[in-house]
Amino acid sequence: MPSITASGLVVALGGTSILSGVELNVAAGEWLNIIGPNGAGKTTLLRSLLGTIDHEGRIEIGGFELDKPQDRARVLAYVPQSPVIPPGMYVVDYVMLGRTPHRGIFARDTDTDVEVAIDVLSRLDLAGFAEREVRSLSGGERQRVVLARALAQQADVLLLDEPTTALDLGHQQDVLDLVDGLRRERGLTVIATLHDLTLAARYGDRIALLADGRIVKSGAPTEVLTADVIAEHFGANVRIINEPDGPVIVPASPERIRR
């Protein structure tokens, strides 16, 4: 099970600096949530780890720098925020795409590939959807299908970019519970970006706050999610209610009502 280390990560897009020296350590089997205001570079950070954008600095996965896309894809599986769903593609074929790093691009599917796909579909309660077009599914079902493709990669690290956007509260919980269950079951390392701070506190082991192109704070939810930190980096006026299973972040009442 690989740990992930990024050091001195610098990314500039179109002349604008997005990441300016990110230091990140994620232990094997850990679940890290990356939070930060809009435009902080959360997605860019995931993409750098994934190797899909040019970056400076060192990224080691399990102690190795992996330069070839195929090598990375065997270790890192990615669930994008807005996945491209090809028209007319069936669920089974979409999930089978996850076998690409093992199969290569020219070879035909092996029995193992099909077995893995069937296994993942059953695990995610998608067996009945196998012959449906992905585009015909609801948002929650689609998110599970995209997750199924990532799991079919049999990678040890799961990178989730805002996995709960566009889902209602119940489906948000479903997806994150599912990830948590799979993580325990398969010993996955999870790195997720999340907008919802309360959810970020509830799921996962640790939170890293990304702001101004750096990780400015990292630690247990109660350490990172304080009213002062949130006021400083999100420009938001919040109250923190400490519940037994984690802090709850609620917007403070507007000024005029309080007076």
Partner 1 sequence: MTIEPARLRAGTLAAGFAVLLVAVVAGLGLGPVGIAPRAVLYALVDALPGVSADSGLSSIHEAIVQEVRLPRVVLGLLVGATLSVSGAAYQGAFRNPLVDPYLLGVAAGAGLGATIAITQNLGDGSGFTDLVPLSAFAGALFAVALSYGAGYIGGRSTASLVLAGVAVASFLTACQTYVLQANSDAFREVYSWILGRVATSGWSEPLLLLPYFVVAVAVMLRYRRALDILAVGDEEAQALGIDPRRVRIHVVVAASLGAAAAVSVSGLIGFVGIIVPHVVRLSFGTSYRVLIPLSILFGGAFMVLADLAARTLVEPAELPIGVVTAFLGAPFFVVVLRMSRREVW
Judged by the rule CB under 8 A, the positions of this chain that interact with partner 1 are 47, 50-52, 69-74, 76-78, 80, 83-90, 92-93, 96-98, 100-101, 105-109, 114, 117-118, 121-122, 127, 130-131, 133, 135, 153
The minimum distance between CB 4 and partner 1, in angstroms, equals: 15
Closer residue to partner 1 in complex, CB, 2/247: 2
Q: E-assigned strands of the chain? A: 4-13, 16-26, 31-35, 56-61, 76-79, 157-161, 189-193, 206-211, 214-219, 238-243, 246-251
Distances in Å between the Cα of 5 and the Cα atoms of 24, 65, 156, 162, 204 are: 6, 10, 15, 21, 18
Both tokens of residue 75? 């270790």
CA 245 from centroid of its chain's CA atoms? 22
The minimum distance between CB 244 and partner 1, in angstroms, equals: 38
The minimum distance between CB 123 and partner 1, in angstroms, equals: 12
Closer residue to partner 1 in complex, CB, 127/220: 127
Closer residue to partner 1 in complex, CB, 108/258: 108
Task: Find out whether 173 and 95 touch, Cβ atoms under 8 Å.
Answer: no
**One-letter amino acid identity for 206?**
R
Task: Find out whether 19 and 44 touch, Cβ atoms under 8 Å.
Answer: yes
Closer residue to partner 1 in complex, CB, 76/167: 76
Closer residue to partner 1 in complex, CB, 128/254: 128
CA quadruple 127, 84, 68, 188: dihedral sign? negative
**One-letter amino acid identity for 95?**
V
The minimum distance between CB 146 and partner 1, in angstroms, equals: 10
The dihedrals phi and psi of 120, each to the nearest 5 degrees, come to: -65, -45
Distances in Å between the Cα of 110 and the Cα atoms of 35, 118, 119, 250 are: 40, 13, 14, 51
The minimum distance between CB 109 and partner 1, in angstroms, equals: 6
The minimum distance between CB 74 and partner 1, in angstroms, equals: 7
Closer residue to partner 1 in complex, CB, 70/237: 70
